[in-house]
Amino acid sequence: MSGRFADLHTHTHHSDGTRTSKEVIDVARSHGLSIVAISDHDNLAAYFEIKAHADTAGVTLVPAIELSCELDDVDVHILAYAFDPHDERIETRLRGFRETRQHRGYEMVNRLRALGCNITAQRVDELAAGGAMGRPHVARALVEAGYASSVAAAFDQWIGTGKPGYVPKERFRIEDAVLLIRAAGGVTSVAHPSLYPDHEQLVPRILDQGVDAIEVFHPDVDAEDRERYTNLARFRGLFVTGGSDDHGKVKTAETLGTIKVPEGVIGAIMERIE
Ligand code: AMP
Ligand code: ZN
Ligand code: FE
Ligand code: FE
Instruction: Please tell me the distance between residue 55's alpha carbon and the centre of ligand 1 in angstroms.
Output: 31
CB atoms within 10 A of CB 14: 25
- Is 142 in contact with 148 (CB distance < 8 Å)? yes
Q: Report d(CA 269, CA 274) in Å as an integer.
A: 9
- pLDDT value of position 252: 65
DSSP 83: -
The minimum-distance atom of ligand 1 relative to the CA of 101 is 3
- Is 47 in contact with 38 (CB distance < 8 Å)? yes
Instruction: Please tell me the distance between residue 250's alpha carbon and the centre of ligand 2 in angstroms.
Output: 9
Whole-prediction pTM = 0.92
- pLDDT value of position 240: 98
Tens-digit pLDDT profile for residues 116-145: 999 999 999 999 988 999 999 999 999 999
Secondary structure in 3-state letters for 84-121:
CCCCHHHHHHHHHHHHHHHHHHHHHHHHHHHCCCCCCH
Return the ligand number nearest the Cα of 191. Answer: 3
- pLDDT value of position 251: 66
- Name the helix (H) or strand (E) containing 261: strand 261-262
* 226 Cβ contact list (under 8 Å, min separation 6): 216, 217
Q: Report d(CA 159, CA 137) in Å as an integer.
A: 11
Instruction: Please tell me the distance between residue 151's alpha carbon and the centre of ligand 1 in angstroms.
Output: 9
DSSP 246: B
The minimum-distance atom of ligand 1 relative to the CA of 154 is 20
Pocket test for ligand 1, best of 16, 68, 100 (most atoms within 8 A of CB): 16
- pLDDT value of position 201: 97
The minimum-distance atom of ligand 1 relative to the CA of 105 is 3
Return the ligand number nearest the Cα of 255. Answer: 4
Question: What's the one-letter identity of residue 178?
Answer: V
- pLDDT value of position 253: 76
What order do you get walking across the sheet with 172-173 strand by strand? Answer: 172-173, 64-71, 74-81, 187-190, 213-217, 239-242
Residues contacting ligand 1 via CB (< 6 Å): 16, 41, 68, 134-136, 151-152, 155, 160, 169, 247
Instruction: Please tell me the distance between residue 158's alpha carbon and the centre of ligand 3 in angstroms.
Output: 20
Q: Nearest residue CA, atom 6 of ligand 1? A: 135
Q: Report d(CA 212, CA 192) in Å as an integer.
A: 14
Q: Long-range pairs for 16-19 at CB < 8 Å and ≥24 separation?
A: 16/41, 16/131, 16/132, 16/134, 16/135, 16/136, 16/137, 16/247, 16/250, 17/246, 17/247, 17/248, 17/250, 18/247, 18/248, 18/249, 18/250, 19/246, 19/248, 19/256
Task: Give the residue-averaged pLDDT of 212-225.
Answer: 98
The minimum-distance atom of ligand 1 relative to the CA of 66 is 10
Distance of CA 185 to the CA centre of its chain: 20
Pocket test for ligand 1, best of 69, 135, 170, 195 (most atoms within 8 A of CB): 135
Tens-digit pLDDT profile for residues 18-71: 999 999 999 999 999 999 999 999 999 999 999 999 999 999 999 999 999 999
Tens-digit pLDDT profile for residues 251-267: 667 899 999 999 999 99
User: Does residue 2 carry a pLDDT above 60?
Assistant: no
User: Does residue 113 carry a pLDDT above 60?
Assistant: yes
Bridge partners, 214 (sequence order): 190, 240
